[in-house]
Structure 1
Amino acid sequence: MDFEVWPEAIELGHLFAERHYELSLVGGPVRDLLLHRPSHDLDFCTSARPEEFEPILRQWGQGFWDMGRKFGTLGAVRRRADGTEVKVEVTTYRSDSYTPDSRKPDVNYGSSLQGDLSRRDFTINAMALRVPELEFVDPFSGAADLAKGVLRTPVNPFQSFDDDPLRMMRAVRFVAQLGFTITPDTAAAITEMTDRIAIVSAERVRDELVKLLLSEHPHEGVEALVDSGIADVVFPEIPALQLEIDEHHRHKDVFEHSLIVLDRAMALETGPDGPVPAPDLTLRLAALVHDIGKPKTRRFESGGKVSFHHHDIVGAKMTRKRLKALRFDHRLTEDVSDLVALHLRFHGYVDEPWTDAAVRRYVKDAGSLYERLNRLTRADATTQNKHKAYVFSHAMDEMEARVDELKKKEDFDAIRPDLDGTQIMEILGIEAGPLVGKAYKHMLEFRLDNGPVEEDEARSELIRWWSEQR
């Protein structure tokens, strides 16, 4: 086997061997070694019990943790000379048992490395490397599956997924991360057992979705999520995009369109110093769900036309509800929902270029999402008509150039009315209350329409508006 093992793993192997304990590198780090992929967190299993190897980790590391002690797991971290850190977790050989209504195992200590490997999710994660002797252990042909690019469980897939249903989502996630395919028998078991996902917490489902979307192949991962039937349980709005195409093909397959938009949005992500560094969860999630309001708003009009009026607003509400159910944090939930609500906003510019006031409003409404919104809008323009594609792209270029010019004259992030609340109360002779807020809102609209003006002009406008209100 052609690979270079981490020196920290070899060192730990010697420390365990000196005390006559077995130690093996297992799971993801071994898989990544064979794939020549970087891995900074090292997982080990050992014949020693936690109380026996705790002193070794405390001696070896500069930091120690034991949150997983009840599962037989202890961890440590060490800083290398170059400033990078290596984290290790060591777990006693285990032989878990599960109850039908929980994916949390009753932990039983095992007696052998092979027994420990048999309880793992997939064969590509059921390989080990004994240290320090560097003996490769592969009882379930994980290396062969790795070479074939397939995902298979080391034991009967029905038993594996019944024990821990989250493994079904992990299979889909590995499709996205590694570009692998799921073997037919494993895929069949997933399809038959999707209802078991119900015992998995929303937070764990969310975490798998995040890893899927931030991977190298999220398109394939989402397809696998839908094809397996898992999406029907965890995110039913996505498979609902597979609308039946009308006989005249007056609208696109919304699911396929959404995956194309996801691919195009990813291509518009920037480097680490750009405005939307890759991978960007907010942009990718918005690209995937931007049209989820279409199934609810589809109408068949006269002449064979199909309409989706207000699918942006409906979709934003659906997005907010689903992301809350999956326990996404408030900021991301609001940002993705706002992008869905705004994703059609620019289309009016293509028909008739906006005034400076309309451009200001677009930027003001987009706020911190401006760069993402423009990328989502560009990604959503999937027409095959070259002329239409050129006109749309040219219009977006023009609008962005106008925004850059306007930003040289004023700070869009700090746009406020030319009169503040205190000045409004003083000029109108009123006390704090709803009327002040109403006046403030009018002066903000005036500011967006006219740009910055002198205080005298702002006072005159406020007095004019006030006289109309009275």
Structure 2
Amino acid sequence: MDRKVENIDVDIATDAHPEDILNLFNKVIPTGIKHGTVTVLGVKNKYEITTFRIDEQYYDLRHPEKVQYVSDIHQDLSRRDFTINALAFDPLTKELIDDFGGIEDIQRRIIRTVGDPQARFQEDALRMLRAIRFSSNLMFEIEEDTLRQIKKNSELLLNISKERIRDEFNRLLLSDKPSFGIELLRQSNILNIMIPSLIKCYGEQQNDFHLHDVYYHLIYSCDAAPKDIVLKIAALFHDIGKPISLAECKQKGIKENVFYNHEVYSEQIAKEFLTEYRYSKNDIQVITKLIRNHMFHYTPSWTDGAVRRFVARVGEDFIPLLFALRVADRIGNGKNFGYPKILINFWDKIQQVINENHALKITDLAINGNDIMERYELKPSKLVGNILSQLLEYVLDDHSVNTREKLFELADIVFEKLKKESSILDLTE
């Protein structure tokens, strides 16, 4: 295969037992010694070394209850998941060992299990997702019976830890064309188990601006997003709330296909998925923020204050991610590519505002919370934050007022206004 591989893992199989390897090398980690695997640390690389073995009955649809060491590489290869992974090279004899037709399957671009696919998947249910991930990464077809058994046994994935499923799913999304793998997830029923809301997008038509239904728009947007897992997931989920939004609109008597507030529903669905599959708090925050803000609509009539307010709300560091999502969204609609002129103008306007180095957040103000508390004899409270927030609004419109003298004058006005609107007791809780 003419394929570039950046990181090559060298896995070594041997008839030596783990304790022999521990005694032979200085730096050895017993990574999976229960199943005969240790990792030897070299000068630059690490090498996973596993004793020839056969697996006995699997107890959790993931791990064998017990392994039995053998002295034969052929027996060892018989326990592998797919034929393309059941290949071994003997460096002494220069022999390529291929007992199950792995070379032919590589040439034919096929993913096929070693032996009975149902037995392989019932041993280790994660293999079903791995098959689809390999298919997506390599752009191989999955052999007919193998795919049939994935669909038949798809619910076995419910017994696999969310973290392991997440890791395989991430690898799929980072392939060159994730839509290829996501389509296999849909056809095999796994997508319905993992992301049922994405299935509801299938066949959901949009307006004339989009060439595809919501489902295909999302998976093609995912293709177009840069190879960053945060952007891939944001692209896949950014419109996933449209079916719910459409139903809400129809209940209100709106006949045309419009999706008011779909970003709100999309954010909620994404957050539920990301939480269920144990993504980090930071990833959840960034992805949901991207989805929540992806519907921004800039026009040339925006003032500098409006641009500063946008940057303040979204966050300076967040802007490149949001623009990358917008471009992926445009490409995913099937009719538009790249940056339109108005988006380029908006980007330039944002950079101009940022380079001016004026206040864009509360911490950039010439006074702080301690100044407010001292001036009005307040304790730490919502009131202090409310005053600072309103002062920032003044500064975003006119940066010249960001001096201690002028901000204190404005703070007096804001403080008196807030006293009239609400009781200080409520605001200072």
- Does residue 274 of structure 2 align to residue 327 of structure 1? no
**Which residue is 2:23 aligned to?**
55
**Which residue is 2:367 aligned to?**
419
After TM superposition, the structure 1 = structure 2 runs for residues 436-447 of structure 1, keeping only pairs within 5 Å, are 436-447=384-395
After TM superposition, the structure 1 = structure 2 runs for residues 212-361 of structure 1, keeping only pairs within 5 Å, are 212-245=172-205, 252-266=212-226, 279-299=227-247, 301=250, 304-344=255-295, 346-347=296-297, 349-350=298-299, 353-361=301-309
Give the match's secondary structure for 2:45. Answer: strand
C-alpha distance in 2 between matches for 1:419 and 1:131: 71
C-alpha distance in 2 between matches for 1:250 and 1:337: 23
What is the deviation of 1:353? 3.2
- Does residue 398 of structure 2 align to residue 450 of structure 1? yes
Judging changes above 3 Å, is the alpha-carbon distance between structure 1 residues 428 and 35 closer, same or farther for their aligned structure 2 residues?
Answer: closer
C-alpha distance in 1 between matches for 2:354 and 2:216: 37
Question: Does the 8 A contact of 2:359 with 2:365 survive in 1?
Answer: no
Q: Deviations over 1:68-111 (max 9, x none)?
A: 111111111212xxxxx221111111111234643211222234
Question: Does the 8 A contact of 2:206 with 2:212 survive in 1?
Answer: no
Correspondence for 1:87 among 46, 51, 69: 46
Q: Tell me which amino acid in the other structure corresponds to 2:152.
A: E
Judging changes above 3 Å, is the alpha-carbon distance between structure 1 residues 247 and 456 closer, same or farther for their aligned structure 2 residues?
Answer: closer
C-alpha distance in 2 between matches for 1:397 and 1:242: 32
C-alpha distance in 2 between matches for 1:334 and 1:36: 34
Correspondence for 2:29 among 40, 65, 69: 65
Question: Does the 8 A contact of 1:130 with 1:136 survive in 2?
Answer: yes
C-alpha distance in 2 between matches for 1:361 and 1:419: 19
TM-score (norm 1): 0.81
What is the deviation of 1:172? 0.9
Question: Does the 8 A contact of 1:245 with 1:251 survive in 2?
Answer: no
Greater shift after overlay, 116-125 or 436-445?
A: 436-445
- Does residue 57 of structure 2 align to residue 98 of structure 1? yes
Q: Tell me which amino acid in the other structure corresponds to 2:321.
A: R
C-alpha distance in 1 between matches for 2:382 and 2:207: 54
What is the deviation of 1:250? 8.8
Judging changes above 3 Å, is the alpha-carbon distance between structure 1 residues 335 and 385 closer, same or farther for their aligned structure 2 residues?
Answer: closer
C-alpha distance in 1 between matches for 2:210 and 2:330: 16
Give the gaps of 5 or more residues in structure 2.
420-429
C-alpha distance in 2 between matches for 1:193 and 1:154: 17
Question: Does the 8 A contact of 1:123 with 1:154 survive in 2?
Answer: yes
Give the match's secondary structure for 1:129. Answer: strand
Question: Does the 8 A contact of 1:250 with 1:306 survive in 2?
Answer: no
What is the deviation of 1:257? 0.5
Q: Deviations over 1:381-437 (max 9, x none)?
A: 255667xx89x8111111111111112211667653332112222333434333222
**Which residue is 1:135 aligned to?**
95
What is the deviation of 1:376? 0.7
Q: Tell me which amino acid in the other structure corresponds to 1:360.
A: R
Give the match's secondary structure for 2:46. Answer: strand
What is the deviation of 1:247? 12
What is the deviation of 1:265? 2.1
Give the match's secondary structure for 1:128. Answer: strand
Q: Tell me which amino acid in the other structure corresponds to 2:385.
A: G
Question: Does the 8 A contact of 1:178 with 1:217 survive in 2?
Answer: no
Q: Deviations over 1:361-384 (max 9, x none)?
A: 222222232101011112212556
Question: Does the 8 A contact of 2:18 with 2:38 survive in 1?
Answer: yes
TM-score (norm 2): 0.89
CA RMSD across the alignment: 2.5
Q: Deviations over 1:23-59 (max 9, x none)?
A: xxxxxxxxx8x9563543210111121122322333x
Give the gaps of 5 or more residues in structure 1.
1-31, 80-84, 267-278
C-alpha distance in 2 between matches for 1:103 and 1:469: 60
What is the deviation of 1:180? 0.9
Question: Does the 8 A contact of 2:361 with 2:392 survive in 1?
Answer: no
Judging changes above 3 Å, is the alpha-carbon distance between structure 1 residues 420 and 250 closer, same or farther for their aligned structure 2 residues?
Answer: closer
C-alpha distance in 2 between matches for 1:312 and 1:147: 44
Question: Does the 8 A contact of 1:175 with 1:217 survive in 2?
Answer: no
C-alpha distance in 2 between matches for 1:379 and 1:35: 26
Question: Does the 8 A contact of 2:111 with 2:141 survive in 1?
Answer: yes
Judging changes above 3 Å, is the alpha-carbon distance between structure 1 residues 412 and 57 closer, same or farther for their aligned structure 2 residues?
Answer: farther
Give the match's secondary structure for 2:343. Answer: helix
What is the deviation of 1:164? 0.6
What is the deviation of 1:469? 2.5
What is the deviation of 1:280? 1.1
Question: Does the 8 A contact of 1:286 with 1:336 survive in 2?
Answer: yes
Q: Tell me which amino acid in the other structure corresponds to 2:54.
A: S
Q: Tell me which amino acid in the other structure corresponds to 2:258.
A: S
Correspondence for 1:165 among 99, 106, 125: 125
**Which residue is 1:366 aligned to?**
314
Correspondence for 1:108 among 68, 73, 94: 68
Question: Does the 8 A contact of 1:313 with 1:341 survive in 2?
Answer: yes
What is the number of residues matched between the two proteins?
Answer: 411
Q: Deviations over 1:262-319 (max 9, x none)?
A: 22223xxxxxxxxxxxx21111111111111112211365684112111101111111
**Which residue is 2:77 aligned to?**
117
C-alpha distance in 1 between matches for 2:197 and 2:71: 46
Judging changes above 3 Å, is the alpha-carbon distance between structure 1 residues 410 and 227 closer, same or farther for their aligned structure 2 residues?
Answer: same
C-alpha distance in 1 between matches for 2:412 and 2:143: 74
Question: Does the 8 A contact of 2:238 with 2:291 survive in 1?
Answer: yes
C-alpha distance in 2 between matches for 1:249 and 1:425: 52
